[in-house]
Amino acid sequence: MTPILVTGATGSLGSALVRALVADGEQVSALVLPGDRLGGIEPVRRDVQIRFADVRDAATLDAAFRGVEIVYHVAGVAVTLNRLHRQMLAVNVDGARNVAEAAARAGVRRLVHTSSISAVGYPPDGEIADERFDMTRSVCTNSYAETKTIGERALLEIAERRGLDAVVVNPSAVIAPYSDLRYGWAGFVQMARRGALRVYPPGGVALCGIDDLVTGFRAAAAHGRAGERYILSTRNISYRDLFGLVCQMADAPPPRLGVSAGVVRAAGRAGRVVSMLYRNPYRSPFLVPENAELSVHHLYYNSEKAQRELGFVPTSIEGSIRQVQAWLSGGKIHESTTA
């Protein structure tokens, strides 16, 4: 078996990858922040070696990377709140640099870095972006996009300089169990179950099913070309259709009211005022200007390069929604690559 290490293993994306690797009998180590809860790897705790380290602290990584052949770097701050800019720099940028250097020192055979479609850029309405999109044409920006872009570039520069075999995946938005219900996409499923998903913004989003993400991760490790980036995305969908689908699967009434871009932006500005009342940025309302701006555009992407070079086959987002429902209900999550 190939020794594998997953950073960010307690998060929704990293833990899904860990559970899939364990299910296939792989030799898996999970990088866990000291003092952190095990989150989504708790169900497979007995089959995983826990290695405590902090990607922000380079000195802790050498021991954690020892004896590893493949590293999936999934750790990151993925909350699109500009107030978290300093934390994003520390994790998304400095953490990426530290991981690349540690992987090079350890002689890791392949590093798969988790970036984001935000690092590709936000295309104008009516355009579907691929890996070649000119980021200077983005319709908006935020701290998350900036730090993921810098982190991706820094990691690839180190990889080239140090002779490290690194490949990048750029997932679109992921609905997944074990995610943050305040800022994660699973929160919309929870709202639907409560009958609280009543309105929708005018834009649209690219979504990646969690099982598609896992298969994309593994395909990148097996077939990706060093130094290349690959968009992993399952479906482009308007918020109207997405919220309608989530409500349908939750047996809840669909949202009936579409909100204009002007109203969404005004609500975002109000959210920013409210957010400043809290010293802890994680107490901020979800709808602040950076999130409001994302929701009024149709930010669509294609994964043709991943399909062509990695054998990536998009399935559906319904399977992810079912997994979130099972998680919210406290039941067993049935992970599969079929919807």
Active-site residues: which are they? 148
Structure tokens at 284: 């901020």
CA-wise closest residue to 306 among 236, 234, 232, 235 = 232
Q: What is the amino acid identity at position 233?
A: S
d(CA 131, CA 151): 16
Q: What is the amino acid identity at position 121?
A: G
CA 173 to chain centroid, in Å, comes to 6
Helix spans in 24-110 (H): 61-65, 85-88, 95-106
Structure tokens at 324: 């979130």
Angle at 199 between CA 198 and CA 201, to 5 degrees: 155
Q: How many CB atoms lie within 10 A of CB 51?
A: 20
Place of tokens 């935020």: 142
CA-wise closest residue to 230 among 213, 253, 209 = 213
Q: Running DSSP on this structure, what letter comes out for residue 50?
A: E
Torsions phi, psi of 155, nearest 5?
-65, -45
Structure tokens at 325: 């429902």
